[in-house]
Structures are given as structure tokens and as C-alpha cells.
Structure 1
């Protein structure tokens, strides 16, 4: 038995038998800018406290913020690379996660509606997020970092397949 023919292990959430589609690498820039904005706000507050009081702990705080920013940037890059999705005959698979890997399988028949959103940073990089909603809130899945034409195509396909599959229920 070759690795491709081996049954999928429940503890291995990235089945090799699926044709995974990655999200856009531009999502890395969106995530890095979010990290930098949050860091700038926190660092400004800590820096102000250090300027006002002169206490050495504020300097330690700034050093920790710098270390955390570098760590968060590395994790953000790797996290974006972990996102992927695959369209199958009866369901959509969405994967992501580094330390805790997550594989969401959303049957087309269970989809209630599909949202396409794009915040200001996503729009700057011409990206969108497709959000799937099901009856169970815990089973909602999202696919970030898609180009708008791909997001529209996926939305339309999922909506059509959801309507087709739901008719048989």
C-alpha cells in the first residue's frame, strides 16, 4: 500500500487524497499589519508610561513587546500558510492551525447561507473572506485570503450546491 492509498488517519487532519487550494500569500501582509498596529498602540502606551514615570519596568515592558512582536509575526506567517480549502462532491473542507490543527468539514446540504466580507486591510490587498453558516454555530467555517473573483465563485458554487442538496432533505 502506498502512502496515497493508505486510509486517512483521524489524527492526521490534512488528508493527502484531497486537492487542497491555498489562500493568497497577500494575507500574510494583512496579518502582519494587524500585528504592527496592535504593537504600535501598546508600545505607545508603555512608552508614555516610561516617559512619565521613568521606571525601569516600562523599559522591560517595551523589550517584551518587541520580542512578542517578532514571535507573533513568525506565527502569523506560518499560520497563513496553514490555511487551505478543498471542494469535494458533497462537502467543503477547510483546514488551518499550527499547534492545534483544525479540519472543518461542512456538508453542502447543511449550509444555511454564505457571506463574503472584506475589511479595510483586506480591501487594500484585494482580498476577501468567505464565511459559511450552518444551523450549528460551532460548525461555521471561514476561508480568508481569497481574491474577490475566487470568493464570488466559491460563494456562488456553495450557494448553488447548498440549495441543490437541501432540496433532498
Structure 2
């Protein structure tokens, strides 16, 4: 006697037939993270102020040097991470013209004292002064490139100097006054000087040689941020 074949019931876990695609499993819903009670909420930084990793700004970096010049020694103060803004290139010309005028005045005074007053010792005094001033003129381009400032989330960091280096951080909440000044030469070259006044005189910062538009933009930004970060003095 011939037995009939057993009927096979297809299992739900079996592989699909040829030419059929298996439907993907449904994705689990994303878990919603709820902050714990009492957790501190960090507000985002105002416009214009970041964590130091923002790209170069079209206003703050217009017509400025491209890179902060660092000392060559291994013991130098490091730049660290973040975007550094620099001075305008016109600042070098302003310094060269101003120092050149003073140098000519000292030279004229030395010649007058020697030739007309008979003060032969004036050559020694005038020569020493002229030598120092000439050295200052020669290092002006390198010195100007050592200036830089960085806008971080909670403070402004300013650095300058090659031989004598200075790095100072000014918290936004401690700023009391933001002042812009510029002389005749500065106005002629379109630059200005920004001064930050704080409760402690030692932490005050003066940033020279900023483009006029950048100085005004930086002043408005710092005032806005200082109001949001105001702390007790």
C-alpha cells in the first residue's frame, strides 16, 4: 500500500521563495532623553561668540594677517585650539610712520644740539635713542603679527609679544566698559583701537590696529554678551 505524502505547513520563519524580498524588521522608536530634575541647562552662546572652532569671520578677519606669529622657543605660550583673529595689515604702516616721525625729530634735535649749541655729548645720547628706535621699526612687522584675540564661550583671550609674551583672559561678565579710540593716522588708514575695562585694572585689555568695521562689530558683540553674562563684582 502506498502512503500519501505528508502535507507540509509553511513556517513563518522560513526563507522566502526565489524572487521574493524579505521585509525588514520595524525599527525601534528612538528613545527620548529627559533631563534629570535639577540638572543645569546650558544656554547657547550668543551670535558672534562660539567655542573657538568657528571659521574665519568675513568682518573680523577682513584685511588682517592670516596667522599669529609664535616665538620659536619650546617654552613659548601655546596658542591652543580655536580661531584666532589678528590685527589689520595697515597697523604696520601706522606704526612705521609714527615711529619714523619721532626718529626724525630725535635726529633733528641731536644735530641742532651738536652743531649749533656745541653739545658734543648729544651725539652719544641721540645715537643710543636712534639705535633703539631703529630696532623698534625693524621688528614692527613681526611684533604686529604676534597680536591675536579669540572669542570663546565665556571669555575673550588676548595675546601679544615675542620676547615678552602676555596672554590674558577677560570674562564677559566682568567687562564694565568697551571703548574705541583712533588718532589721525588711524583714521587715515581705517583702523581703530579697542579697549576693554574691567573691575581689575590688571586684566584690562587694549587691542590696537583693528579694522574700523571690525572694532564696531566687536564692541557691539561684547556689550551684548556682557549683559547676558553679567556677574557680581
Q: TM-score, normalised by structure 2?
A: 0.62
- CA distance in 2 between counterparts of 1:30 and 1:37 reads 11
Q: Among 141, 147, 155, which residue is 1:83 paired with?
A: 147
Q: CA deviation at 1:16?
A: 2.8
Q: CA deviation at 1:70?
A: 2.5
- CA distance in 2 between counterparts of 1:101 and 1:60 reads 31
1:43 is the counterpart of 2:113? no
- CA distance in 1 between counterparts of 2:229 and 2:109 reads 53
**Which residue of structure 2 aligns with residue 21 of structure 1?**
85
Structure 1 residues without counterparts, runs of 5 or longer: 1-10
**Which residue of structure 1 aligns with residue 174 of structure 2?**
110
- CA distance in 2 between counterparts of 1:31 and 1:14 reads 26
Q: Secondary structure at the match of 2:79?
A: coil
- CA distance in 1 between counterparts of 2:100 and 2:132 reads 11
Q: Secondary structure at the match of 2:113?
A: helix
More strand by percentage:
1
**Which residue of structure 2 aligns with residue 120 of structure 1?**
184
Report the number of matched residues. Answer: 159
Is the 1:20–1:85 contact (alpha carbons within 8 Å) kept by the matching residues of 2?
Answer: yes
Distance 1:135 1:167, change over 3 A: closer
Is the 1:14–1:95 contact (alpha carbons within 8 Å) kept by the matching residues of 2?
Answer: no
Deviations 1:53-88 (A, max 9, x none): 456544455554543333111222221111111101
Q: What stretches of structure 1 move > 2 A for 4+ residues in a row?
A: 11-16, 53-70
Is the 1:91–1:108 contact (alpha carbons within 8 Å) kept by the matching residues of 2?
Answer: yes
Write the mapping of 1:132-151 to structure 2, written as runs, cut at 5 A. Answer: 132-151=196-215
- CA distance in 1 between counterparts of 2:126 and 2:174 reads 48
